[in-house]
Amino acid sequence: MLESSGSAFYVLNLLDLTASPLTTIGPASLVVSDDGQRVWAFSPGTGNLASVSFATVHPIPLLLSRPITDVYDIGRGDGGRTLIATHESGAFGITVVDGLNPDTATSRVDSGLLLEGL
């Protein structure tokens, strides 16, 4: 990944010597998954989120119901991946999305989580 400005990014393929542009409509933050298979782009303070597979460089846009503070791509025990988007609107909350097949129809929102002692 190469960032040329807050809203223009490139996926560099060093084997093929190619650069695939990824343009966003506004400033975005990027989080690369630990397995190196995808990048998550999101606009902090909005519900705008996209998953981009490095294999296809095709974005899958998602619109979450709450403003995103940060995102975490984590591995599951069954070999799958999960994306956790955090929200700070009143109380602390999260949205959980399948990391390999992202779809808001199957996501889960939990609000009002207590983080006492952390």
Count of other CB atoms within 10 angstroms of residue 96: 14
CA torsion sign for 8, 13, 14, 16 is negative
Q: What is the pLDDT along the chain (118 residues), one digit of tens a residue?
A: 777 766 677 888 888 888 888 777 778 888 999 998 999 999 899 999 999 998 888 889 999 999 999 999 999 999 999 999 999 866 789 999 999 999 999 999 988 776 666 5
Gap between the Cα atoms of 35 and 115, Å rounded: 28
In whole angstroms, what separates CA 39 from the centre of its chain?
7
What b/e readout covers 3-19, taking b as 16+ CB neighbours within 10 angstroms?
A: eeeeeebbbeeeeeeee
Q: Are 7 and 24 in contact (CB under 8 A)?
A: yes
The topology under which CATH files domain 2-113 is Methylamine Dehydrogenase; Chain H (2.130.10)
Q: Where are the domains of the chain?
A: 2-113
Q: Are 25 and 62 in contact (CB under 8 A)?
A: no
pTM (global) more than 0.75: yes
Cα–Cα nearest to 61, from 49, 71, 53: 49
Gap between the Cα atoms of 57 and 23, Å rounded: 12
Q: Are 59 and 52 in contact (CB under 8 A)?
A: yes
